Amino acid sequence: MFRRNVPKATIARQLGVTYVSVWHWEKRWKAEGPDSWRDHRHPGAAPKLSASQRRQLVEVLVRGPRAYGYSTDLWTLKRVAEVMRKEYGVEYTLSGVWRVLRALGFSAQVPLTRALERDDDYIRHWVRKTWPEIYRHVVETNATLVFIDEAGVQSSPNVRRSWAVEGSRPVLRCLGSREKLSVISGVTLDGELVFDVHRHDITGTEVIWFLEQVLEEIPGKVVILWDNGGIHRCREVQTFAWLNRSRLELRRFPPYAPDLNPDEGVWDALKNDRMANFCPKSLEELETTVTNEMRRLQRRPDDVMAALLQTELPIHTLEDFVRAGGLP
């Protein structure tokens, strides 16, 4: 376009740049020739960390903050800057640390929460050995396997996102008392859902009521798989299970392993999908909405099955478990 004497204003409009940029390009073109439009390398200052130091830093970060001496498993920009200063004697600003981490292939992520008491070795053993044995027992006795869990639904909304004018942060007003409902549910591998809603904390009595409901709605023998919560281990629940031992059997997940319970996917579907951004005006409205949404899930077993697949419990190859006697 310079050779054709196209006006600089036309060039700027066609290329989507400013007139001043085109003016500078023309000066470079006249002074340096036809290749002057190419960007020049600007190497800048030498990196503070050598290639070997960067590899060592990656190893430190992968081992985790606790292995380095911190009290929590959380890498922050400030902590990484401290590691750089202690190990390599270099100072970085927080923005500089961010650029280094990005160059090393790291990104800011929301961590999964795990209890310190969690025994990962035992959990892996349970998944490989105990879980296939439970499922084989269910098949051999022609029983129905029911995963049970409890959850709380608060009046304060589970906010996903909200639209607002740019630069004006929205304000979300909700009930100040943060009232709560307690919900207990059971789900089968066929997508059948049973639930009950309470306005108070669930105790052993409510658990017994729910087990009676499960036995009424699901015919034949029922095997319950749930966590080690105190309400599941209390004396009245154990007595109820013994009195109904001809139809009811109780099994437990490993301690501190909620991610194994497929019923957790039901709570995710309820809170994060069906009730995201829901702002109830009263506890009655919250209770009605929770009940209606759970009933809608009951009528859509395919949606329940999709929620179950969020679990870390391998439920996709159960028939292979029965044949092989455990995970390979």
Distance between CA atoms of residues 147 and 139, nearest Å: 15
Q: Quote the crossing angle between the two packed helices 204-217 and 235-243, to the nearest 10°.
A: 20
pLDDT tens, residue by residue, 75-121 = 899 999 999 999 999 999 999 999 999 899 888 876 666 666 778 89
| Residue from 288, 262, 263 nearest 275 by CA | 288
For the chain, the distance separating the N- and C-terminal CA atoms, rounded to the nearest angstrom, is 67
Listed range (61-65, 224-228, 250-254) with the worst mean pLDDT: 61-65
Predicted pLDDT of residue 27: 87
Q: Assess contact for 127 and 314: CB atoms under 8 A.
A: yes
Query: What percentage of the chain carries pLDDT values higher than 70?
Result: 84
Query: pLDDT tier at 314 (50, 70, 90 boundaries)?
Result: confident
Q: Assess contact for 19 and 43: CB atoms under 8 A.
A: no
Listed range (63-77, 187-201, 306-320) with the worst mean pLDDT: 306-320
Query: pLDDT tier at 223 (50, 70, 90 boundaries)?
Result: very high
Predicted pLDDT of residue 160: 58
Q: Which residue has better confidence, 34 or 137?
A: 137
Predicted pLDDT of residue 29: 84
Q: Where are the beta strands (DSSP E) in 155-247?
A: 180-188, 193-198, 222-226
pLDDT tens, residue by residue, 174-220 = 555 567 899 999 999 888 999 999 999 999 999 999 999 999 999 99
Q: Where are the beta strands (DSSP E) in 143-301?
A: 144-154, 180-188, 193-198, 222-226, 248-252
State CA 239 to chain mean position distance. Answer: 36
Lookup: tokens for 141: 């006795």
Render 57-123 in DSSP notation, one character per residue.
Answer: HHHHHHH-HHHHT-SSS---HHHHHHHHHHHH-----HHHHHHHHHHTT----PPPP--TT--HHHH
Q: Assess contact for 167 and 125: CB atoms under 8 A.
A: no
pLDDT tens, residue by residue, 238-279 = 999 999 999 999 999 999 888 899 988 888 888 888 887 777
Predicted pLDDT of residue 119: 83
This prediction's pTM: 0.66
User: Which residues are bridge partners to 37 per DSSP?
Assistant: none
Predicted pLDDT of residue 109: 78
CB neighbour list of residue 308: distance below 8 Å, 6 or more residues apart:
187, 189, 191, 262, 265, 266, 315
pLDDT at 322 over 70: no
Place of tokens 């380095």: 68
- Domain 120-158+174-324, second-level architecture: 2-Layer Sandwich (3.30)
Q: Where are the domains of the chain?
A: 8-34, 51-103, 120-158+174-324
pLDDT tens, residue by residue, 286-308 = 899 999 999 999 999 888 888 88
Distance between CA atoms of residues 304 and 268, nearest Å: 11
User: Which residues are bridge partners to 144 per DSSP?
Assistant: 222
Average pLDDT score over the chain: 85
Predicted pLDDT of residue 326: 44
Predicted pLDDT of residue 174: 59
pLDDT at 321 over 70: no
